[in-house]
Amino acid sequence: MVLTKRQRTNAVRLGFYLLTGAAVAAVVLVPDWRDLQRAFFQWDIVTEQFPDIITTAAKNTVLFTIYGFGGGLTLGLILALMRISSFRPYRVFAGTVIDVIRGLPALLLILLIGFALPIATDVRMSRTGRASIALAIVASAYIAETIRSGIQAIPAGQMEAARSLGMSYSRAMVTVILPQAFRIIIPPMTNELVLLLKDTALVSVIGFTAAERELTRFGRDGVVSSANATPLVVAGLVYLALTIPLTRLSAHLERRAGRHR
């Protein structure tokens, strides 16, 4: 039987509909929903999580993210500018640092900075301070590469034009190139911010007080005290309440930035 192109498209589409329908039916029919709810969503355990999950856990997650991203942005910008510098030692240094950081798991860096730093040196710093620095360092390498790609996406003529108007290199960079570059990199930077927010789940490895717990740790402790997985599900929902608005905001900023160009 020979099908026309349109018939073939329709047949494929029908196939996909059937597959999707079967998958949905499987999800709805196969699990024992009572069992699942007992294991993952007991309402009285859900209510027990509040208000501490917001006032302590979510607050700490957000603070770690802000400190980490703020530090990461500063360090990342410096690394990016060094990476595109005309002075070779800067380029080599920044390239090496970025490679090393990107090549190491975030957990390992947090352990290194959290444990090894205070033993190796006499630097006295709070646990949250060390955790934030570790997060900032982790973020800086990825942010540096993002900023570099943004800068290099601006046509070279822009810099040349600015310089020919008599601007210095740094003035041209700050007033002409970087503002345009940052507009371009809003989506990947939001991505970076969301990744960092999720990486804050790792900082509890270096120790924590009850008041320093972030969302994942809070959820894990809840699992132990309630012998039920509900606290993890609630923590997950709070993460989503933080990350989904962020990605939406980024989409909005992207549209607005597009209008201004």
Partner 1 sequence: MRTSKLRRCLLTALVFAVASLAVACGDDDGDNGDAGAGVETTGSATTGGAAAAEFETITAGTLTVCTDAPYEPFEFEDESGEFTGFDMELLRAMTTNWGLELSVTVVPFDGIWLLPTAGDCDLVASAMTITPERAENALFSDPYFDADQSLLVRAEDAETFATLADLEGGTIGVQTGTTGEAYATENAPEGAEIVSFDEAAAIFPALESGDVDAILQDFPVNAFRSTQDELFVVTERFPTGEQYGFATSPENTALIDAVNAQLAQARDDGTYDQIFAEWFGTT
Q: What does the binding site for partner 1 look like in residue numbers (CB under 8 A)?
A: 18-19, 22-23, 26-27, 30-32, 35-36, 39, 115, 118-119, 124, 127, 204-210, 220-221, 223-224, 227
Q: Which is nearer to partner 1, 33 or 169 (CB)?
A: 33
Assign 100 to helix, strand or coil.
helix
CB of 21 to partner 1, least distance (A): 9
CB of 210 to partner 1, least distance (A): 7
Give CA–CA dist 29/229, Å, rounded. 22
Q: Residue 4 has what DSSP assignment?
A: P
Give CA–CA dist 27/33, Å, rounded. 10
CB of 189 to partner 1, least distance (A): 31
Q: Which is nearer to partner 1, 57 or 73 (CB)?
A: 57
Count of CB atoms situated within 10 Å of the CB of 90: 16
Say whether the peptide bond before residue 51 is cis (omega within 30 degrees of 0): yes
Q: Which is nearer to partner 1, 54 or 210 (CB)?
A: 210
Q: Which is nearer to partner 1, 40 or 90 (CB)?
A: 40
Q: Which is nearer to partner 1, 210 or 251 (CB)?
A: 210
Give CA–CA dist 171/162, Å, rounded. 9
CB of 166 to partner 1, least distance (A): 54
Do 140 and 101 meet the contact criterion of CB atoms below 8 Å apart? Answer: yes
CB of 217 to partner 1, least distance (A): 9
Residues 6+ apart with CB under 8 A from 192: 69, 72, 139, 142, 143, 146
CB of 107 to partner 1, least distance (A): 11
Residues 6+ apart with CB under 8 A from 10: none
Residue whose entry in the numeric block shows the structure tokens 């970076």:
192
CB of 133 to partner 1, least distance (A): 15
Q: Which is nearer to partner 1, 130 or 148 (CB)?
A: 130
Q: Which is nearer to partner 1, 31 or 179 (CB)?
A: 31
Do 64 and 135 meet the contact criterion of CB atoms below 8 Å apart? Answer: yes
Burial of 21 (0-12, 13-18, 19+ CB in 10 A): exposed
